[in-house]
Structure 1
Amino acid sequence: MRSIGFIGLGSMGLPMARNLLARGFAVRGFDLRAESAAALARDGGAAAASAADAAAGADLLVLMVVNAAQAETVLFADGALDALPAGAVVALMATCPPGAVEALAGRVAAAGRRFLDAPVSGGVVGASGGTLTIMAAAPRETFEAAEPVLRAFGDKVFHVGERPGQGATVKTVNQLLCGVHIAAAAEALALAAKVGVDLGILLEVLGGSAASSWMLRNRGPRMLQDEPEVASAVDIFVKDLGIVLEAGHDARAALPLASIAHQMFLAASARGDGGADDSQVVRTYLALNGLPRPPE
């Protein structure tokens, strides 16, 4: 597979497409923002005029879109699926509900194309550095055909199952833990702040203790900043924890911690912090405790 169509050239999609170019793939990309496709063209790719144009003649079509509804629109309403050659692979790499992924996969297969459920983790940093974690589910033959493309995106590529929807499930579990860990870290810092503990020293203590987590070490220092650079926004976890709860509902699985974390991210978004770094869910915890901002 050397000819790649790419739809969704946002903060993660564009660097992913650039990594394909660096590996020698031919990439034709489309985004609703014309300037993003133009940026890809300046780097040696081709700017497509539409989703169908990006898919035309491609061996594999990457969908790095916002959600399952957007993937459905791109594939069926905008003509991308019909533009793909028979037997080509559709790689859905966005975070979507497992049930929605399974339904999309069935429609793609019915049209004579193959489907790869391959959500990613690692954010903009991982997308730029080619160090994403990729959780791929598809029949082994489809996975192996697409694997060279996936390895242009990430250094941790896992075949997690033969059935589309299983990759989305693994990503859902990942996001459950990430969201709960961030919320728990924010709650802990808010308690310490309430009683006047030095939060910088607290993070040093916790970072080397059994209470530590990757999220605490990564997000904790940003929780002490007024306006940290946005690596992943609060509204991302509003969406992703919503997907977690939907998956739990479908599986009849009780997810009380995920539900509470989702409420805290929703509250942060409602306070006007939806576009802020996800570490800033701490502002909601501080506000609940009568502390309007992180202590200096």
Structure 2
Amino acid sequence: MIDTAYFPLELDFRNPEQLHGNLSQWKLAQLGISRLESSATNFKRVDRQIDESEPYFLITMPTQEQVQFSQSNHSVVCNPGAFILERSDLPYEFSYRKDNALWVIRVPLSQLRTRIREPERYLYMEFNKQKGMGAVFFQFMQSIVQQASDTDEASHSVLSNQLIDLLAHSLENDDRVLMSRESGLRRVHLLNIENFVRGNIQRSELSPEMIACACQISCRYLHKLFKDSGQTVGQWIKELRLQSALNDIQSDRGHTTLAEIAYRWGFNDQAHFCRLFKARFGRTPREMRQVKSPF
């Protein structure tokens, strides 16, 4: 069950003779939510277990005891009342020394990237879930779980998107992230760019020139800002559009035509949209509408 809730892991129980545990899971469109209660355990993810076409992040929230997490020469301690992010596509080690209960959300990395640029910036940090947006995020997750059996698939898709949005807001509101890896001026420019693009993503004419003009910077500087992100401006916009279209296709269940969804997210040519969609997700929009979410 651990493999289905998270992904393949090696488990080492500190006191095997006193082992106990319980795992509850909820499927919510593209998200997986779980609550694990267990005795002291060490989880380890090694290279041979990493074989995924779609990387995931785990958002882990201990409720009783602190946990220790290490990955890529980084270590962080997460206390009850906080949460941390872990990535699935690199080895890591995670442990707690006493009985513990953990809430864990499994979210595709691509879903985070449609809300926040470079979600990897938020790794290896402890975030507060007892006040501000962190508390809103945590409480909303709990309310979703409580009502999961009384809500349908279409509602699950809406709620999962709202939960990811709240997670993104709680991360971006952290002052440590605002000042990390980027100068204050560069950060301001990137936030302006993100806000403009998200507000105009449905316009087919959206272009680097339009973005640069609206944000009062040069096109050359715009491309320079994205140089270290691993994506060009155009690639980022395309990913935002495709992920938004995917969300609509999975949640709409046939009430809106595929052509309407394509136009809604800035694709003027439906054939071109279908080619891009299949190249990104491995299925055509029509095929994707006919399958259930894998989570």
Taking structure 2 as the reference length, the TM-score comes to 0.34
Query: Larger RCO: Structure 1 or Structure 2 (Cα < 8 Å, ≥ 6 residues apart)?
Result: 2
Taking structure 1 as the reference length, the TM-score comes to 0.34
Q: Which structure has greater strand proportion?
A: 2
Q: Which structure has greater helix proportion?
A: 1
